[in-house]
């Protein structure tokens, strides 16, 4: 039996290399008796990241490792880990993140305060390698915001996008969404919402969850009083074109799930027929031929996926 002040930490790994051992070491150093279990869900990694964890000496806990035979995606892997958890809280922690000394004590004290009973999701202030505060919160996407993003206008006017890039993230406040690098959730809420929607392979599954939690009356809070490390980019930096494809794919899935039919169609048309050219223009202005190539590879993958979905819809009827 575990205390209701304890948390299960779930880490999804895909070729994270030394980062995975680093985050596990940080948990071992700074768990403060608040961690019920550490669950690593490996999405068919081909590197030695799991072996590096096994070589860690004198850990105060033995991580539970779930080995998937294929890459099931982030949300699906998180759900598998959550099923093995045995605590009142779940912390989804990226392998490119790490805890600091006060991360868990401050976060858990905040969540345990009766005044915060309707806070379902909590994020913390994330610091990068240089100690700079990362912009890690967002508004729920809107059709105008995504249209501005397709045009590239949010690169010039950040406030037009759904990322809260124009806020310095120095104060604790209620927000609409905190990114999934450090995503603390009440287990009861996670179960009530049936976890992450596995249709999102990677990206926006956390945003979709935050929106569904919001609809049930729960709040998301960005806790600036607690900090954690986050490198950013993570293992997805290894596959930049595919990373862009999954981002575009998830955007369309989100739009057709949460927008009106007209809003979803407008989002799709802007994504397909405006954004590839605005992205190409920005790549050329930067002199980035690699960026130009990655853009069109990603859009080739997106069009192939959409064609497959269209064929499946036709055959179902």
Residue 242, Cβ neighbours under 10 Å: how many?
A: 16
The 10s digit of each residue's pLDDT in 95-147 is: 999 999 999 999 999 999 999 999 999 999 999 999 999 999 999 999 999 99
The structure tokens listed for 13 are: 């790994």
Handedness of CA 123, 88, 233, 218 (dihedral sign): negative
Domain parsing of the chain, residue ranges: 7-134+169-232, 237-316
Residue 236: is its pLDDT beyond 50?
no
Query: Roughly how many angstroms between the first and final C-alpha of the chain, as a whole number?
Result: 51
Q: Give pLDDT, residue 233.
A: 58
pTM: 0.95
Residue 265, H or E segment: helix 261-273
Q: Is 138 left (phi over 0), alpha (psi -120 to 50) or beta?
A: beta
Structural domain 7-134+169-232, CATH architecture: Alpha-Beta Complex (3.90)
CA–CA separation, 199 and 12 (whole Å): 17
Which of 33-47, 201-215, 235-249 has the weakest average pLDDT? 235-249
Position 253 scores a pLDDT of 98
Using 50, 70 and 90 to split pLDDT, how confident is the model at 1?
very low
């Amino acid at each position: 039996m575990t205390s209701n002040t304890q948390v299960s930490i779930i880490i999804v790994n895909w070729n994270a290399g030394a980062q995975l051992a680093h985050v596990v070491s940080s948990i071992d150093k700074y768990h403060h008796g608040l961690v019920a279990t550490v669950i690593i869900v490996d999405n068919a990694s081909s590197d030695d990241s799991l072996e590096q964890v096994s070589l860690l000496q004198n850990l105060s806990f033995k991580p539970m490792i779930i080995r998937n035979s294929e890459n099931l995606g982030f949300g699906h892997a998180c759900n598998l880990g959550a099923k093995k958890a045995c605590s009142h809280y779940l912390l989804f922690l990226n392998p490119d993140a790490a805890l600091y000394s006060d991360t868990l004590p401050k976060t858990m004290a905040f969540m345990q305060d009766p005044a915060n009973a309707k806070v379902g999701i909590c994020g913390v202030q994330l610091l990068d390698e240089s100690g700079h505060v990362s912009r890690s919160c967002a508004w729920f996407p809107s059709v105008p915001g995504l249209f501005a993003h397709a045009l590239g206008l949010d690169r010039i006017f950040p406030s037009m996008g759904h990322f809260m890039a124009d806020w310095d993230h120095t104060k604790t406040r209620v927000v609409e969404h905190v990114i999934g690098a450090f995503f603390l959730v009440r287990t009861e809420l996670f179960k009530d919402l049936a976890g992450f929607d596995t249709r999102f392979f990677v990206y926006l599954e956390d945003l979709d969850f935050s929106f569904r939690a919001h609809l049930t009356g729960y709040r998301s809070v960005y806790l600036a009083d607690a900090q954690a490390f986050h490198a950013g980019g993570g293992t997805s930096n290894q596959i930049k074109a595919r990373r862009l494809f999954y981002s575009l794919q998830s955007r369309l899935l989100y739009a057709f799930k949460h927008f009106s039919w007209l809003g979803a169609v407008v989002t799709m048309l802007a994504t397909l027929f405006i954004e590839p050219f605005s992205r190409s223009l920005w790549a050329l202005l930067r002199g980035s031929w690699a960026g130009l190539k990655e853009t069109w590879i990603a859009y080739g993958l997106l069009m192939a996926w959409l064609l497959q979905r269209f064929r499946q819809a036709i055959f179902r009827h």
